[in-house]
Amino acid sequence: MSVTKLVVANRGEIAIRVLRAAADLGIATVAIHSADDAASLHVAQGDEAIALEGRGVAAYLDGAQIIERARESGADAVHPGYGFLAESADFARQCAEAGLTFVGPSVDALALFGDKVQARQLAAAEGVPVLAGTDGPTSVEEAEAFFASLPDGAAMMIKAVAGGGGRGTRAVHSADAISATFERCRSEAEGAFGDGSLYVEQLLERARHVEVQMLGDGTDVVDFGERECSVQRRYQKLLEVAPAPGLAAGLRTRLLAAAQRLAVASGYESLGTVEFLVDAADQGDDAAFYFIETNARLQVEHTVTEAVTGVDLVQAQLRIAGGATLSELGLTQDQIPPARGYAIQARVNMETLSADGQTRPGGGTLTAFEPPTGPGVRTDTYGYTGYTTNPAFDSLLAKVIGHAPTADFADAVRRTSRALSEFRIEGVATNVGFLQNVLAHPDFVAGRIETRFVEERIAELVDEGGHPRRFVATEGPSGGGFAGAQVGTADPLGLFAHDRAVKESHGATATESADLQGPDGSIGLPAPIQGTIVSVLVAEGDTV
């Protein structure tokens, strides 16, 4: 069995990523979109596009409608990307009942790892360390009792049983803050996942967030090494690195083995990520670490693992969904390439941060959008010039990945920073300057990273001045955003190419402005716009 036609049940950059991987495998593709998301770039990337009824997030969470549209299109598989329905055991089950292959873990694995309490219990049973915590959905009274049982000075994490991405998760340092924080987490989890259940565990104050990329075929599992994810803002990742810089070899071996035990015990199939906290007070081979959760889906930061291994993880995921084994893919553990150098992913969000850590959301129309390119640089995005962003969706606009094949982490830092300096984004506020500040910080360059890195340095990281801008920004006389030179039509080297608004204001139709070449190959200007200032491109050999 193989996948022949795929519906991508997502939007934005991750939908584009999956659509491209499928196209490269010769799989026909279908993009979907909500009523208010038709202008998103992913819609143009599929062989077909289907409009869903409904607006905003709700449309992408309407599993029954997505399945109905998929069947009507003749698709035989659905890829959920990440977020939305990606970790829904019910959606995966409904796909199977409709005769559609769900490109992701099995229903049982989704149910298991979708409940973080059950996942903790499996980890403990497999000898993987977990932090002290409650063993099931927890009431506020039980949370208060657990906090009271902790040693003096200890803190507690309140966490959502379902979902991920930091939603429904907050730290509590005093007993009098428990009730209000608990309710805030419950409300946030209910809104994000439709499940307000919470549990609590002891907070590890100084920790690195390290995760392991897994791939299984239902029988065998392999790992692709680890990623460092400690640069976070309120438990949401901002930069990720593969492999984790400065991680002791013995500790790495122990982390990979722990992830393997969990994946094998669950009979894991497809892509998944096992996440750990590592005690930052001890950087040696015997440092303590603790299981957090398993994300049973394609991860946002899969890109850096692809960069250092050269393996297309999404294609591997699609081929396993089509029935291939790891052995048939040439991806048994001894065939996994070792990490080559370092890769860094910077999440470009439509937001800015204030000195007190508050986030100010951004949005609007992208009046200029030119992603960086070049050796070792990858940009995953759905942005384009003229696109008006939609506040109904996540603030992530682009992921910039810089990869350097050398053993010096600083080389990858410089490449990623340089790439960000080339990223021209106008019309929308972003966190590019903040990301550049993180990359320039000596503690980051030295690999001295932990989960409180941003929190403790926020005042110095939000000062966005002083970074080079390695692109040319041009404007017309009225600030209209013309790109290129602007000259009078008397210029004998001007090749006509001007803004539609200028054409129409002078009475020229789209047809007239497009059909300017005479039989001798010369270019002429319609009378209504002669003498107008226009934006031009010059082509060698053309006459005007």
User: What is the C-alpha to C-alpha distance for residues 48 and 30, in angstroms, rounded to an integer?
Assistant: 5
Residue 271 dihedral angles phi and psi, to the nearest 5°: -80, 150
CA triple 44-82-293, angle to 5 deg: 170
Give me 297's structure tokens: 């889906």
Question: 370 has which bridge partners?
Answer: 424
- Given the structure tokens 């669950």, which residue do they identify? 266
What residues have CB less than 8 Å from 238, skipping those under 6 apart? 231, 232, 346, 347, 349, 431, 435, 438, 454
Counting beta carbons within 10 angstroms of the beta carbon of residue 79, is it exposed (0 to 12), middle (13 to 18) or buried (19 or more)? buried
DSSP code per residue over 443-479? HHHTT---TTHHHHHHHHHS---S----S-----TTS
Q: Which residues contact 129 (CB under 8 A, 6 or more apart)?
A: 123, 258, 288, 289, 290, 291
**Dihedral sign of CA atoms 113, 119, 123, 125 in order:** negative
d(CA 436, CA 393): 25
Closest C-alpha to 506, from 527, 487, 529, 532: 529
Report the alpha-carbon distance of residue 289 to residue 99 in Å, rounded. 41
Beta strands in 219-288 (DSSP E): 221-233, 236-242, 269-279
Residue the block writes with tokens 């094998």: 264
Is 55 catalytic? The answer is: no
User: Which one-letter DSSP state was computed for residue 365?
Assistant: B
User: The tokens of 229 are what?
Assistant: 């994810």
Q: What is the distance between the alpha carbons of residues 119 and 434, in angstroms, rounded to a whole number?
A: 35
Take residue 35 and report the two structure tokens written for it: 């009523």
Q: List the one residue out of 197, 201, 188, 224 whose CA is nearest residue 277.
A: 201
Closest CA to 289 of 301, 307, 277: 277
Distance between CA atoms of residues 307 and 137, nearest Å: 39
Considering the candidates 69, 208, 297, 378, report the single residue annotated as catalytic: 297
Q: Count Cβ neighbours within 10 Å for each residue of 235-264 and write b for 16 or more, e otherwise.
A: bebbbbbbbbbebbeebbebbbebbbbbbe
CB 193 within 8 Å of CB 222: no
CA 133 to chain centre: 29
Closest residue by Cα to residue 123 from 286, 293, 327: 293
Residues marked active site are found at 297
